[in-house]
Amino acid sequence: MKSTTKAHLAVLITNLLFGVNYAAVKFITPSHILPFGLNIARVFTALILFWLLYLLKPSVCAPGIQKKHIPRFITCALTGVTINQLLFIKGLSLTSSIHASLLALGTPIFITFIAAWLLKERLSIVKITGLISGIGGASLLILLKDTTHQGTDILLGDILVLINAISYAFYMVLVRPLMNTYSPLHVIRWIFTIGVVFMLPFGWSQFIHADWNAFALQHWMALTLVCVGATFVAYLFNTYGLAVIGASATGSYIYTQPVFAAIIATIFMHEHLSVYKLLAALLIFTGVYLVNWKKEVKREV
């Protein structure tokens, strides 16, 4: 099998894991473990596995980070791990899987405009139209009432997921310069290490007070999928995809996430696709497509 074929397969599996992750998270939180406690389990598991991987196969660069890069690593850890993960799990626990997966599509849109803002680039009419379309779809999801009763506070959950998407977009823009100095796995390992430190005050109490005795086999399977599959494996596969087929091709697979999430949520979580959800999905998909239309990759981003 060609390396490019392997990379495409790896990225597809990554987005399948992300799609299934929405239902898996809702299956165990908040009923068996509270959202911030699940964050601790998720990030700690991935962190341990990242360091074990380093010990088994040390990277070619130095094990530490240069002093001048520490502020950027901290900022990336806050936006890419702490804020991103805390708000995502908390928001998902309050809203529906379909809502969360569609709102997460806002990340590529926000990346384009945050990069333009930081790099002082001129925005085209096409990209501005894409932003308006994406915001319109997100607003439709947030403002219209969901009748599936799959969330305890749909509005708040949607807002938290949307803020999570903005935070992750900042991370994606800010982390690229670090990739020019360090290997991707080196960057991810240290970002997770720093991110855990900031996450501990929010989630440690919920983690230690989780009712682990109430976990049945299916709950442990869901937890493993979230912690190992949708975090450690997904990050590894996504990094492999970035290295082999590039950011553009890797990023295009984000379109598959809501599809996987909707199928799983419909079958196992008894959610359903309404007309307004389909319309919102169309607006958001259109927005993502337009902001990436004939997009030139800027190395300095």
Query: Can you spell out the DSSP letters for 99-148?
Result: HHHHHTTHHHHHHHHHHHHHHTPPPPHHHHHHHHHHHHHHHHHHHSPP-S
Domain with 204 in it: 3-57+66-291
Asked, for residue 299, whether it belongs to a domain, the answer is: no
Asked, for residue 252, whether it belongs to a domain, the answer is: yes
Asked, for residue 158, whether it belongs to a domain, the answer is: yes
Tell me the per-residue pLDDT of 99-113, one tens digit each, with 9 for 90 and over. Answer: 888 888 777 777 777
Asked, for residue 300, whether it belongs to a domain, the answer is: no
**Across 267-296, average pLDDT:** 73
Asked, for residue 13, whether it belongs to a domain, the answer is: yes
Asked, for residue 216, whether it belongs to a domain, the answer is: yes
Q: Which range, of 53-67, 168-182, 227-241, averages the lowest pLDDT? A: 53-67
Percentage of the chain modeled with pLDDT above 90 = 31
For the cut 50, the answer to whether the pLDDT of residue 301 exceeds it is: no
Count of domains observed in the chain: 1
Asked, for residue 298, whether it belongs to a domain, the answer is: no
In which band, very low, low, confident or very high, does the pLDDT at 47 lie, cut at 50, 70 and 90? Answer: very high
Residue 61, pLDDT score: 56
Peptide bond into 30 cis (omega under 30): yes
Rounded Cα distance between 20 and 260, Å, is: 7
Rounded Cα distance between 107 and 90, Å, is: 18
Asked, for residue 48, whether it belongs to a domain, the answer is: yes
Cβ atoms of 273 and 266 closer than 8 Å: yes
271-285 core/surface letters (b: 16 or more CB in 10 A; e: else): beeeeebeebbebbb
